[in-house]
Homo-oligomer: A and B are copies of this chain.
Amino acid sequence: MYDCAIIGSGPAGVSAALTLKALSKNIIWFGNKGLSAKVKNAEKIRNYPGLSNVTGMEMQAAFLAQIEDMGLEITEKTVTAVCGMGDYYGILCDQEIFEAKTVILTIGVDAVKPIKGELEFMGRGVSYCATCDGFLYKGKKIAVICTSKELEHEIKYLCDLAAEVNLCPLYKDVEISADNLKIITDMPIEIYGVQRADKLIFKDKELSVDGIFMLKAAVVPSVLVAGLQAADGHVTVDRACKTNLKGCFAAGDCTGRPYQYAKAVGEGNVAAHSANEYLAAQK
Contact = CB atoms under 8 A, between A and B. Distances in A.
A22 B46 contact: yes
A273 interface: yes
Interface residues of A, number: 39
Interface string A43-79: 0001111111100000100110110011000000000
Contacts of A11: 49
Given A263-B269, A266-B263, A267-B266, A62 B50 contact: yes
Interface stretch (A13-21, A158-166, A180-188, A215-223): A13-21
Contact of A62 (B47, B52, B260): B52
Contact of A262 (B257, B258, B260, B265): B265
A268 interface: yes
Contacts of A65: 52
Nearest to A20: B47
A63 B262 CA distance: 14
A51 B50 contact: yes
Contact of A49 (B46, B52, B256, B265): B265
A52 B47 CA distance: 18
A53 B18 CA distance: 11
A126 interface: no
B52 A69 contact: yes
Contact of A15 (B47, B59, B270): B47
A238 interface: yes
A277 to B, nearest CB: 9
A110 B158 CA distance: 58
Centre residue among A59, A238, A266 by max chain B CB count within 10 A: A266
Interface in A234-283: 237-239, 256-258, 260, 262-270, 273
A47 B48 CA distance: 15
A269 B262 contact: yes
Centre residue among A15, A237, A268 by max chain B CB count within 10 A: A15
Contacts of A262: 15, 19, 265-266, 268-269
Given A49-B62, A52-B62, A52-B65, 10 more contacts: A11-B49, A15-B49, A15-B262, A48-B50, A50-B50, A50-B51, A52-B69, A258-B269, A260-B273, A266-B270
29 contacts: A18-B46, A18-B47, A19-B47, A19-B260, A21-B47, A48-B50, A50-B59, A50-B62, A50-B66, A50-B265, A51-B51, A51-B66, A52-B62, A52-B65, A52-B70, A237-B239, A238-B239, A257-B273, A258-B269, A258-B270, A260-B269, A260-B270, A260-B273, A262-B268, A263-B270, A263-B273, A264-B266, A266-B266, A266-B269
